[in-house]
Every structure is written in structure tokens, then in C-alpha cells.
Amino acid sequence: VLEGYEVANFQSRGNDQVVDLTPGLWSIIGKNLDEGVSNGTGKSSMVRALNVGLLGTSFSDVTVKEMRNRFGDGNPRIKIRLKVDDKPLHIDRIVGGRLAATFDGKEIEGKNEDIQKVIMDTIGLTETQVNYLTNKAQGSFGGFLLMKDKDKKELLVRLEEMDYASG
């Protein structure tokens, strides 16, 4: 169960952008209040940050350079709080840098690739499934509906097995 996440220096997001969530389906609605040159309110950036925080940069349609906020200092940083089987999973990813994670209070050790594998094994979903569930940027109309029937069934069975009530 995703409990929330924090974003710093990611695309149009500045420091200390905190999103607290309750289990369910979410929609991010925003109104562009900027004057002059601007391309939106940062809704897609917040969704993309969640995806990058969970999966790393390989499943993003944006380059690492494009992920950096041009007005911020340092690399983008994304911290995610989840509960898996009633145990906390915390992910702390610096884009272009280190990945750290703890599960049930214990640090997950290893190289970034090793930690990423443990994260995916712990949440019990594949990178493709997470991508279908999270990243619906503007103009992206596929995802779940375009999955093969076998893959849809596998994903739905996995989601049905998850215990949302305890989160």
C-alpha cells in the first residue's frame, strides 16, 4: 500500500513536495498559476516522480538530464513510503546517484541493482505492472487496456491478493 512520497528538485518540482495518500485510485488536478512561459502545473511530474522513485530511470520516457529541476541544487531525490504485508518499506532514491531502502526497519544492502531487485521482489509486482498502474502521462491512453489478456489476469489476481485493509 502506497502511503506517500516526497519529491525534491524533480522536473518542475522544487524542494519538499510531500504527497500523503490513502489507499485507492487517485487523480491529480492542478491549475497553472504561472505567468509567462510555463507548460503546466506539475501533475505529470508528480506521477513520473513516483514511477522513477519505485523503478529508477530505465522505465521513464524522460532523460536523467530532463529530470533535474533547472532552478534547484543537486540531483532529484524521491522518497517513497509503502506498506507491504503490514511492514514498512521505505525507498530513498537520488536520481543519477544512490538508492537506499529499508524493509521492516532493516536496511537492504548491496549495489543499486541488487536493492532494486529486492524492492521489486518485496512489492510483488513487475516493473511493467507498476508502470501500467502509475504512469499515465498526457496522451498516454494504453497501459492496462493494451495488455495481453494473460497479463491482465495475472495483474488483477495479484492486486486481489493484496491486503489493502491492513494498510
pLDDT confidence of residue 164: 47
Cα 63 versus chain centre, distance: 16
pLDDT confidence of residue 125: 84
Q: Is the pTM of this model over 0.85?
A: no
Residue with cell 530532463: 66
Residue 108: band (very low, low, confident or very high) from pLDDT cuts 50, 70, 90: very high
pLDDT at 93 over 70: yes
C-alpha cell of residue 146: 493494451
- The CA dihedral of 108, 82, 29, 47, to the nearest 10 degrees, is 30
